[in-house]
Structure 1
Amino acid sequence: MTESGVSLGRCHVHKRTVICVFFALIVLLIFATYGQIGNGRQLHRPNMENIQWPPSPNNLAESEPILSEQRQIVEAVKKVRILCLILTMEKDINTKVAAVNSTWATRCDKHFYVINSRQKRHDFLNIDVPDTRRTLVHKMRKAYEEIYKNYRNDFDFLLKADDDTYVIVENLKYLVWHHDADKPGYLGFHFNKFLKSGYMSGGAGYVISNRGLRQLVERGYQNGVCEIVPRKDDPENSEDIETGRCLELAGVPVWSSLDVQGRETFHAYPLEQHLFGNLPQFMFSWAKHPLKKGKECCSRYTISFHYVKPDAIYYLHHVLYETTVFGLAESQHRNEPVFNTS
């Protein structure tokens, strides 16, 4: 045996014992890191690009309750029952009615076209009243009475719209989900004219709670307090003004339809006119809330636009329901207030 071998074999009594132990530990550490003790094989090193990193515990704790709550809200909103009454005329069956029926109307839980027609369709509410501007209020009054008589238990909220209105029904449901259908109330694009509480634009569409419709009929029509008489400030007896008047007399208050940023959800004109602020001058003095243009014109959860031609109805519907921006849809819904329901 060599002198060095004798020295190594006696390292437990040699003054270099500490150094021997230190180097032995270093060798074991290196071997355990880069090879498997016992068979000498190299440890498996996965492709780092293919690793599916789990969210950090903090992210999981924060995101899972939010996602769960959002799913619950979505399911609850779907259960809100909307009955849509769409005012139209027989001459528009193959144009305006066809466009509305192919797009947003069927997203209502139940819908009827308020029409004076000889045709019989399951979605026609035939009202025997002539089609003139002066008779629209009578036409809608009979329609409301018919709904009260035969369908008052079939909806939570009732939407009245025109055949040139485009409605995003899902957003409408989301807005009214914040309200109690068993309490009287109605909302829409709010004009601050003619009445103490103002009235809602008929073309932009207005919504009445189930209790609100019951009071409209029971306290308004049946008690004779909503008589249609000539008025100097509204010689045509406009349907939306007279309906608003009767709702006010029947004790049905106005609810807000603004979002938390003060942006409108119902719109009395097409999107492009609100976007560029190209609106009739009377709108700026009649509107209850200051009108805005640009992206502030319209809520992210916008509900309606008026004076939309059939081709534009198809166009809007395609952009909204057949087009998706990658990566955007997943981040649209946030767990934060959306509407100003105060």
Structure 2
Amino acid sequence: MRKRRGLSSAVLGLGCGLLLGLLLLQRSVPDRRGVSPHLLGTTTSRREISSGGLLFVGVMTARKYLGTRAKAVYESWGREVPGQIGFFSSEASRPPVECPDLPIIALPRVDDSYPPQKKSFLMLQHMWTRYGERFEWFLRADDDLYVRMDRLEHLLRSVDSRRPEYIGQAGRGNSREFGRLSLEYDENFCMGGPGVIMSRETLRRMVPHIKHCLSNLYTAHEDVELGRCVRKFAGVSCTWSYEMQSILYHNSSGDLAFTGKLKSKEVHRAISMHPVKSPPHMYRLHNYMRGLKIQELQQKRIELQRDMERMARSLSSPFSTDAYYPSGRKIQTYHRLPPWDFVSRSEYSLVDSNPRRRIHSDLREGLEDVTREVMASINACSRQRGRLVEERQALYGYRRRTAVGVDTVLDLLLIYKKYRGRKLTLPVRRHLYLHQHFTGLETREVPSDDLDKRVIHFIVPVSGRQEAMRRFLQNYERVCLSRFQHTKLLVVVYSSNELETISISRLIERLKRNYGQQKVQMIEGVGNFSRARALDQGTTLLREDDLMFFIDVDISFEMPILQRIRRNTLKAKRIYFPVVFSQYNPKIIFGISDQDIISDVNGFWRLFGFGIVAIYKSDYDAMGGFDLSIEGWGKEDVDLFEKAVQSELHIFRSSDLDLIHVFHGINCDKSLKEHQLIMCKGTRADTYASTQQLASLIYRNSEYLDFARMKRLVNMTSPSA
């Protein structure tokens, strides 16, 4: 009996094992879409769905737009999709030469004819068949649509994709089409331009009936027929929310849409923007949105810093009375705060040489940004509260810059609109008090040992400036040669007489005898003098990996500049254009021959000067170098800077305290071209003295004012006037 029980138990166990194995095998075999049967159906959990991705974007395009519009979409917001993107085109479409990695899906038996109804429906069918179980949401987009993916992701993660959702800007046709779209009084459709979003459940219900929808088209409008199909088979209409008009924004300006000013509340509030017809404007819009994202991240960083300050105070930290940053640096508290500037139709300031002046564009733009952000914060819950506040005008305000940020006080005229319950519209005035905190310092670690040994090749052009050249060589000897720095000097000499060349040659030969033949080199320029031609001639003697520094004989420099040149110039990545401090005429402002103190009274920063450059030889050649057709001084530096902007290299600009342009008289040759002569005269006028010094000079010499009054009177009484 014991033996029979053992045999029967074994048979029973074997049968159960086989049955269990068959069940497991059946559950693990994928269906024709590559998904296990137990994942199909409406009861799939949100966790299972999200494991594949959040969003699949299908972009409808045409073969002729693959290398332009489609490429611009793919290289801008298309790379930020939290999931996957595909570009649906006609059957014969192939990736363009301009963008070989463009993910094209060529739909069989589909051409690029208009209206694209067949292309649209078959695109949705392909999206469901291939990606239906891998993504929660599906976006149908055109190739002239821009989408802010970070905001769209935030929106989609707040909605349950297991429910049938059909999200877009609701439409019923324009006035001419009223009654011709075969829509009932309570039916609508999602307009295709600003983008149409569907949940996976909506696609699951609709896709099996696409053949029926294509066979029963009532109009030539693709988005209307899509809405009809979704309504009939998915049982859901497009979102009626009025807010969708601003979230999925359609600009009715046509080809001119988003080509002008982007600082507007419509652009800032939108998730999608349509239409962007020109690829350059698509890139421009994308760069603008990236700038807004940077501002948001900086604001979050400031908020985290404030949290750290509050936590430090609560813990009785030694940093409890000062601003604290992750680096451990404390910000000094200034007891004397700067005065406020008054802003109305003009700007009034105590610290400016012109106490009353027009509002500059940077201040106006800053105030507009502040007001827009504040109004967005005020109206954040307007829908729930049934009211809306609109800005009508900024009547006046106060503004000041401190050591830690910018303080602003504005008196705003607002329009209060209540549209829920008892409707009400009335004007109100409110004061806005705002503090904008500066961000902390950003640092970059570099391998100092190898970098400090990299040789810097100074290239200096000179023509008829013996005394300036003598001063420059003394400066170079004191900073570089006597301290055994890793530098080399190449002087390109253009001389009108032999004595001048001999004089400069003797100075250089002395340095060679004292410090070695390889440290200093002189070559004679070819042809008529041109700064562009002189510097370019010097570059021909260097190798591809050499680090070059273009400098003039009028520049005085100190040793820290060597470290900054090496740190801020990266091969194939970055060019360094330092901002030089330029001295005013010391005889006018001091009555003496020289003054090296950096201040607003002594000089100014040459923000629009690009002649001093640190760049690698290989990058210089890749950019195309100087324009050798430019003769004399001026314009060649602007041309090189424009080439740098258009290249893929980054530009680093910073005011450098160790680069000083020593004052010298400027003689503007009348034989220069008109634009060069204008630039020369403008530079000469800028170097006379500061506005304060010129005003003081006029006040001390009343004859200047008398001369100005007399000249004005003559102009007013002349016949031509």
TM over 0.5: yes
The alignment status of 1:198 with 2:188, answered yes or no, reads yes
- SS of 1:214's equivalent in the other structure is helix
Correspondent of 2:154 among 160, 171, 174: 174
The one-letter code sitting in structure 1 at the alignment partner of 2:199 is S
The alignment status of 1:187 with 2:167, answered yes or no, reads yes
The alignment status of 1:119 with 2:108, answered yes or no, reads no
Could you say which residue in structure 2 is the equivalent of 1:105?
Answer: 78
Q: Deviations over 1:221-264 (max 9, x none)?
A: 26x3x244463xx3xx22111111100111133235654xx761
The alignment status of 1:266 with 2:248, answered yes or no, reads yes
The one-letter code sitting in structure 1 at the alignment partner of 2:288 is V
RMSD: 3.6
Could you say which residue in structure 2 is the equivalent of 1:314?
Answer: 283
8 Å CA contact retained: 2:171, 2:189: yes
Higher RCO (CA < 8 A, seq sep 6+): 1
Q: How big is the shift at 1:105?
A: 1.1
Aligned length: 237
Correspondent of 2:142 among 162, 175, 178: 162
8 Å CA contact retained: 2:58, 2:127: no
The one-letter code sitting in structure 2 at the alignment partner of 1:321 is R
CA distance in 2, matches of 1:326, 1:104: 18
CA distance in 1, matches of 2:201, 2:297: 41
- SS of 2:248's equivalent in the other structure is coil
CA distance in 1, matches of 2:382, 2:268: 9
The alignment status of 1:130 with 2:99, answered yes or no, reads no
Trace 1:1-342 onto structure 2 (pairs within 5 A).
81-108=54-81, 109-116=83-90, 117-119=92-94, 123-128=103-108, 129-134=110-115, 136-193=116-173, 194=181, 195=183, 196-218=186-208, 220-221=209-210, 224=212, 226-229=213-216, 231=218, 234=219, 237-250=220-233, 251-255=235-239, 259=243, 264-269=246-251, 297=266, 300-322=269-291, 324-325=294-295, 329-330=299-300
Cα distance change, pair 161–275 in 1 and its aligned pair in 2 (3 A): closer
Q: How big is the shift at 1:216?
A: 1.2
Q: How big is the shift at 1:122?
A: 7.1
CA distance in 2, matches of 1:239, 1:172: 24
CA distance in 2, matches of 1:229, 1:257: 29
CA distance in 1, matches of 2:240, 2:381: 12
CA distance in 2, matches of 1:295, 1:322: 14
Could you say which residue in structure 1 is the equivalent of 2:503?
Answer: none
Cα distance change, pair 274–126 in 1 and its aligned pair in 2 (3 A): closer
The one-letter code sitting in structure 1 at the alignment partner of 2:271 is T
Cα distance change, pair 118–298 in 1 and its aligned pair in 2 (3 A): closer
Cα distance change, pair 95–296 in 1 and its aligned pair in 2 (3 A): closer
The one-letter code sitting in structure 1 at the alignment partner of 2:85 is H
CA distance in 1, matches of 2:103, 2:79: 10
- SS of 2:269's equivalent in the other structure is coil
CA distance in 2, matches of 1:122, 1:204: 22
CA distance in 1, matches of 2:382, 2:187: 20
Moved more, 180-189 or 263-272: 263-272
Q: How big is the shift at 1:300?
A: 2.4
Cα distance change, pair 187–271 in 1 and its aligned pair in 2 (3 A): farther
- SS of 2:118's equivalent in the other structure is helix
Q: Which runs of 5+ in 2 are unaligned?
A: 1-49, 96-100, 174-180, 304-372, 385-721
Q: How big is the shift at 1:329?
A: 3.6
More strand by share: 2
Cα distance change, pair 184–151 in 1 and its aligned pair in 2 (3 A): same
Cα distance change, pair 181–256 in 1 and its aligned pair in 2 (3 A): farther
Cα distance change, pair 307–322 in 1 and its aligned pair in 2 (3 A): closer
Q: Deviations over 1:162-209 (max 9, x none)?
A: 111111111112222221111101111221333343111212111011
Q: How big is the shift at 1:145?
A: 1.3
CA distance in 1, matches of 2:382, 2:205: 25
CA distance in 1, matches of 2:257, 2:200: 30
Q: Deviations over 1:284-317 (max 9, x none)?
A: xxxxxxxxxx956466253332244211110011
CA distance in 2, matches of 1:111, 1:168: 14
Moved more, 186-195 or 240-249: 186-195
- SS of 1:86's equivalent in the other structure is strand
8 Å CA contact retained: 1:186, 1:208: yes
TM-score (structure 1 length as normaliser): 0.60
Q: Which runs of 5+ in 1 are unaligned?
A: 1-76, 277-293
8 Å CA contact retained: 1:258, 1:340: no
Q: How big is the shift at 1:103?
A: 0.5
The one-letter code sitting in structure 1 at the alignment partner of 2:61 is T
CA distance in 2, matches of 1:88, 1:255: 25
8 Å CA contact retained: 1:83, 1:158: yes
CA distance in 1, matches of 2:106, 2:74: 17
- SS of 2:59's equivalent in the other structure is strand
- SS of 2:249's equivalent in the other structure is coil
Q: How big is the shift at 1:217?
A: 0.9
Q: Deviations over 1:314-340 (max 9, x none)?
A: 001101114644897438798x96797
Cα distance change, pair 327–132 in 1 and its aligned pair in 2 (3 A): closer
Could you say which residue in structure 2 is the equivalent of 1:6?
Answer: none
Cα distance change, pair 303–118 in 1 and its aligned pair in 2 (3 A): closer
CA distance in 2, matches of 1:126, 1:189: 28
CA distance in 1, matches of 2:285, 2:382: 23
8 Å CA contact retained: 2:169, 2:238: no
TM-score (structure 2 length as normaliser): 0.30
8 Å CA contact retained: 2:171, 2:188: yes
Cα distance change, pair 221–310 in 1 and its aligned pair in 2 (3 A): same
Q: Deviations over 1:39-67 (max 9, x none)?
A: xxxxxxxxxxxxxxxxxxxxxxxxxxxxx
Cα distance change, pair 274–197 in 1 and its aligned pair in 2 (3 A): farther
The one-letter code sitting in structure 1 at the alignment partner of 2:130 is N
The one-letter code sitting in structure 2 at the alignment partner of 1:312 is H
Cα distance change, pair 338–185 in 1 and its aligned pair in 2 (3 A): farther
8 Å CA contact retained: 1:256, 1:340: no
The one-letter code sitting in structure 2 at the alignment partner of 1:177 is R
Cα distance change, pair 227–102 in 1 and its aligned pair in 2 (3 A): closer
8 Å CA contact retained: 2:189, 2:237: no
